[in-house]
C-alpha cells in the first residue's frame, strides 16, 4: 500500500507523538508499505527525520515551516495551526497515487480533513490522540461557554468528513459517539510501548537508581512525565500531606511542565519534604526510570479520561510496575484496574483513598507482586508496539480497500 501521513506537529519537536509515529513508520515500512510523511518544522530541537528513519528505502517526508508558539497562547497556536493547514493544502494537491491517508488529531482538524478530502481524494482516517475541545475544557484552558459550544460544533466537521476515526481508548470512543458518530465508524487502537526495547531493569543494573543513590528500604511513589494541566499536582500534595509521617515513603516527581513551579512552591510552603523533584531523563533511560519505583502514581484531573489517555500506563506495565491512579469514577479506565487486577484506581477527589492504597501496596508485597505480574501480561497483550502497529496496518487495508 501507499500510505500518506499528516502530522499536526513535527518530529523535530519532543512529545508523545514522536516515538509513536516513528515506530509506526518503521513498522509499516517493514511490512512492505510505502510511507510518505507531511510534518511541520518549528522548534528544530530534534531532526525532522530521525536517524532511524533516514535510511528506510520506502519512506519519504517533507516539512512545512510554522511559527513556534507557547503552549499557553491558545488563540495564537490555533491560528498558526490553521495557517499550517492552508500551507499543507498546496502540498496535498501534489499527493497522488496513495491508497489511504491518516491525519493526526489537532484543534484545526476540520481544515485538515476538508483539504485532504478535496485534494488527495483517498479515504481519510482521523487519528484522535486527544479530544478537542474536550481536553482543553477539562484542563481549564477553555472556560468560555460560547467558545466550547462553537468548537464542539466545528469539530464535528472533521468527524463527518473523515471516512473513519481511530481512537486510543474505549472512553474516548464513547466521547466520539456522543458527538454523533456511529460506532461502526470508530476503531480503538491503544497507544503503545516499544516491546522491542522497554523492559524491567533489575535493581543492581539500574542506572537511574545508581545515579540518585536510591535505597532499598524506601518505598518510592513515582510520577515521571509532563506536569501540565492533565496532571493533578494537588492530589500529590494532599496524599503526601496525609503520609508525611511515613518515613519510608518518598514521592519522586520526575519531569517538568507548566504546573511544576507552582507544584514545587506549594510543596515547599507546606513543608512536604517527602516530595523530591528530579529533572527529565533522556528517552533511552525510560526503562531504568520506571523500573526504579515501588509503585507509580498517575493523578488525573476530573474530565481528562475520555478526552485523553495517560501514555505512560503501558510503559509501566512493561516494566512490571503497579499503578495507583485517580481518575473519573465509572470510567472504563478506572474499571480496567479492578477488572484486570493490575493496580488500584480511585476517584479524582479521594486523596485519602489514594494514600490508603499506597500503604496497602507497601505493606503487602505479595499483592504488589501479583498485580505487577498481571500488569505485565496485560500490557503485553494490549499495549505492545508489535500488536498495535499491526492493528493500524489492518485498519489501513480495510479502509483503503473500500475506496
**CATH number belonging to the domain at 2-192+384-400, selected among 3.40.1030.10, 3.40.50.720, 3.20.20.150, 3.40.50.2000:** 3.40.50.2000
**What does the pLDDT read at residue 403?**
63
Element (H, E) at 111: helix 109-119
All structural domains of the chain with their residue ranges: 2-192+384-400, 203-382
- Hey, do 2-192+384-400 and 203-382 end up sharing a CATH topology, with the first three levels equal? yes
Read off the pLDDT band of 388 (50, 70, 90): very high
Q: Which of 153, 175, 99, 120 is nearest to 328 (CA)?
A: 175
| Percent of all residues in the chain with a pLDDT value above 70, rounded to a whole number | 100
| Complete DSSP assignment for 232-260 | -HHHHHHHHHHTTT-TTEEEEEE---TTH
| Percent of all residues in the chain with a pLDDT value above 90, rounded to a whole number | 85
Sheet strands (E) in 118-205: 124-128, 164-167, 186-188
Average pLDDT of every residue of the chain: 94
Identify the bridge partners of residue 250 per DSSP, sorted by sequence position. Answer: 220
Cell numbers placing 161 = 468528513
Cβ partners under 8 Å of residue 211, min gap 6: none
Read off the pLDDT band of 19 (50, 70, 90): confident
Cα(382)–Cα(286) distance, integer angstroms: 19
pLDDT in tens, 87-136: 999 999 999 899 999 999 999 999 999 999 999 999 999 999 989 998 88
Q: Which of 312, 270, 259, 260 is nearest to 289 (CA)?
A: 312
pLDDT in tens, 286-317: 999 999 999 999 999 999 998 888 888 999 99
**What does the pLDDT read at residue 176?**
95
Read off the pLDDT band of 378 (50, 70, 90): very high
The mean-pLDDT minimum among 52-56, 135-139, 146-150, 237-241 falls in 135-139
pLDDT in tens, 139-169: 778 889 999 999 999 999 999 999 999 999 9
**CA pseudo-torsion sign 379, 280, 344, 319:** positive
Q: Which of 304, 280, 295 is nearest to 355 (CA)?
A: 295
Cell numbers placing 218 = 524506601
pLDDT in tens, 321-333: 999 999 999 999 9
Higher local confidence (pLDDT), 197 or 33 = 33
Read off the pLDDT band of 43 (50, 70, 90): very high
pLDDT in tens, 59-73: 999 999 999 987 778
CATH architecture of 203-382: 3-Layer(aba) Sandwich (3.40)
Cα(11)–Cα(17) distance, integer angstroms: 8
Residues 334/328, Cβ–Cβ less than 8 Å: yes
Would the pLDDT of 402 be above 80? no
Would the pLDDT of 41 be above 80? yes
* Cβ atoms within 10 Å, residue 169: 22
Amino acid at each position: 500500500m501507499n500510505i500518506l501521513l499528516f502530522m499536526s506537529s513535527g518530529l523535530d519537536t519532543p512529545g508523545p507523538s514522536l516515538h509513536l509515529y516513528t515506530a509506526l513508520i518503521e513498522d509499516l515500512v517493514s511490512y512492505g508499505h510505502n510511507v510518505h510523511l507531511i510534518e511541520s518544522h518549528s522548534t528544530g530541537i530534534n531532526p525532522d527525520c530521525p536517524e532511524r528513519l533516514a535510511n528506510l528505502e520506502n519512506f519519504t517526508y517533507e516539512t512545512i515551516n510554522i511559527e513556534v508558539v507557547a503552549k499557553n497562547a491558545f488563540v495564537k497556536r490555533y491560528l498558526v495551526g490553521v495557517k499550517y493547514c492552508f500551507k499543507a493544502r498546496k502540498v496535498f494537491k501534489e499527493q497522488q497515487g496513495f491508497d489511504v491517508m491518516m491525519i493526526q488529531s489537532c484543534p484545526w482538524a476540520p481544515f485538515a480533513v476538508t483539504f485532504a478530502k478535496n485534494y488527495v481524494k483517498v479515504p481519510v482516517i482521523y487519528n484522535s490522540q486527544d479530544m478537542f475541545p474536550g481536553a482543553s475544557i477539562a484542563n481549564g484552558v477553555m472556560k468560555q461557554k460560547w467558545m466550547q459550544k462553537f468548537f464542539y460544533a466545528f469539530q464535528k466537521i472533521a468527524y463527518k468528513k473523515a471516512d473513519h476515526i481511530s481512537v486510543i481508548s474505549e472512553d474516548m470512543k464513547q466521547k466520539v459517539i456522543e458527538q454523533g458518530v456511529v460506532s461502526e465508524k470508530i476503531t480503538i487502537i491503544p497507544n503503545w510501548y516499544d516491546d522491542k526495547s522497554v523492559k524491567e531493569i533489575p535493581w543492581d543494573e539500574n542506572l537511574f537508581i545508581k545515579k540518585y543513590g536510591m535505597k532499598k528500604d524506601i518505598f518510592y511513589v513515582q510520577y515521571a512525565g509532563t506536569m501540565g494541566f492533565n496532571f493533578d499536582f494537588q492530589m500529590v500534595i494532599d496524599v503526601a500531606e496525609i503520609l508525611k509521617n511515613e518515613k519510608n515513603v518518598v514521592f519522586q516527581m520526575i519531569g517538568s511542565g507548566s504546573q511544576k513551579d507552582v507544584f514545587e512552591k506549594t510543596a515547599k510552603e507546606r513543608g512536604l519534604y517527602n516530595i523530591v523533584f528530579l529533572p527529565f531523563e533522556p528517552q533511552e533511560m525510560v526503562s531504568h526510570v520506571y523500573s526504579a519505583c515501588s509503585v507509580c502514581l498517575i493523578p488525573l484531573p476530573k474530565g481528562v479520561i475520555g478526552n485523553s489517555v495517560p501514555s505512560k500506563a503501558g510503559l509501566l506495565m512493561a516494566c512490571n510496575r503497579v499503578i495507583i491512579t485517580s481518575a473519573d469514577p465509572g470510567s472504563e479506565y478506572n474499571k480496567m484496574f479492578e477488572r484486570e487486577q493490575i493496580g488500584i484506581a480511585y476517584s479524582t477527589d479521594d486523596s485519602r483513598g489514594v494514600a490508603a492504597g499506597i500503604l496497602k501496596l507497601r505493606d503487602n508485597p505479595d499483592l504488589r507482586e501479583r498485580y505487577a505480574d498481571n500488569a505485565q501480561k496485560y500490557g503485553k497483550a494490549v499495549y505492545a508496539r508489535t500488536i498495535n502497529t499491526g492493528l493500524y496496518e489492518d485498519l489501513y487495508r480495510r479502509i483503503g480497500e473500500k475506496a
